[in-house]
Structure 1
Amino acid sequence: MAGEIPDLHAQERTGTGKGAARAARRAHMVPGIVFGGDVDPLPIQIPYNVLIKKLRQGRFKSTLFNLKVDGHEDVRVICRDVQRDIVKDLPTHLDLMRLRRTTKINLFIPVEFVNEDAAPGITKGGFLTVIRNEIELIVTAGDIPEKITVDLSGLEIGDTVTISQVELPAGTKPTIDRDFVICNIAAPSALSSDEDEEEGAEDAAEVPTVGDEAAAEGGEE
């Protein structure tokens, strides 16, 4: 279970329809609706500045929130839609869906990399290159993992870690079917430069010059 689900504070909105929505916007609020969960829809409104801040943080539509509305029990919700002004691209309405504990949802779960000191490639001067610091998983709303752990023990320079090599929490699976890379151990820049120079020298030694070819032909005659 995730350590802490972020709170989303909202107010119950009185009245429905376009008139009530316009009144909310004039008060610098964004109107919305909470639906699902076998209960009646709940009209709400969220301060415009609060919603803008959360939208700018990213992943708003794939984040599980603990919705807090005065006079109502807290409920877990996920955003299903944010309607925007077609000219200004600013939020004008949002739809939130209540979740049961058994509901399956897609969430981005952070990745933690452990045992760097047990990776020979790192102790030899290599460095960890993180391709994905979070992974989108299909999870159960009532049992969300706090993180995904990637063990770096035994990794050498040039080794990679893919999703198939990681033990995922029970009941979860990636949203991507292919075996994608999470991280790798890259060679130090100095070592990479030396290797490139060595390869260049070997290539140069293998390619004869025009003079060498002429001398070889003269010798054959």
Structure 2
Amino acid sequence: MSQVTIAMPKGRIFEEAAELLRKAGFQLPPEFDDSRKLIIDVPEENMRFILAKPMDVTTYVEHGVADLGIAGKDVLLEEERDVYELLDLKISKCHLAVAGLPDTVPSDVAPKIATKYPNVASTYFREQGEQVEIINLNGSIELAPMIGLAERIVDIVSTGRTLKENGLVELEHITDITSRLIVNPVSYRLKDERIDEIVQRLTAVVEEV
């Protein structure tokens, strides 16, 4: 049985994905959830897990250091990596949205949009026929309208609580987001039987939800 390396994002997606793998019958050790390690070997399943930042998962899979990966659709849309999307795991549901202060008025000049999704934001506003200036930020996107850096933001919205606590409102819904199972194209050819088995077991669990 071929060893399969899976890149997993740290945080909430990791917890939900680990639960999904266990439901699908994969024997993950108890310390899996609490580990501070960046690489976890599970010899019982002939699996290796790489714990990465969410934005890095697609890079690891594209370059073949991981055969499979679990990545949010937001990352896949933004990064546009050479990977195949195998399965919608239907976990970590949220959506991408445009938000701003409630009294935001249209600007005569190209409005500034702050986001950590510059490609997604550019494509969205281009499709709306709106010319904007994109400001790339990596954290605390909600700050931008509050300090006058940008009129609007494009960011992930889950419950909407963070927006509300910072006095912002959702202005436009861009697209729904869930986490997906992705594969390196070469790995899919070389380890197709093993990967298909993993996909089938996960599919059965996902369809029960």
Q: TM-score range by the shorter chain?
A: under 0.3
TM-score with structure 2 setting the length? 0.21
TM-score with structure 1 setting the length? 0.20
Larger radius of gyration: 1
Q: Which has the higher contact order (CA 8 A, sep 6+)?
A: 2
Q: Judging by fraction of residues, say which structure has more helix.
A: 2
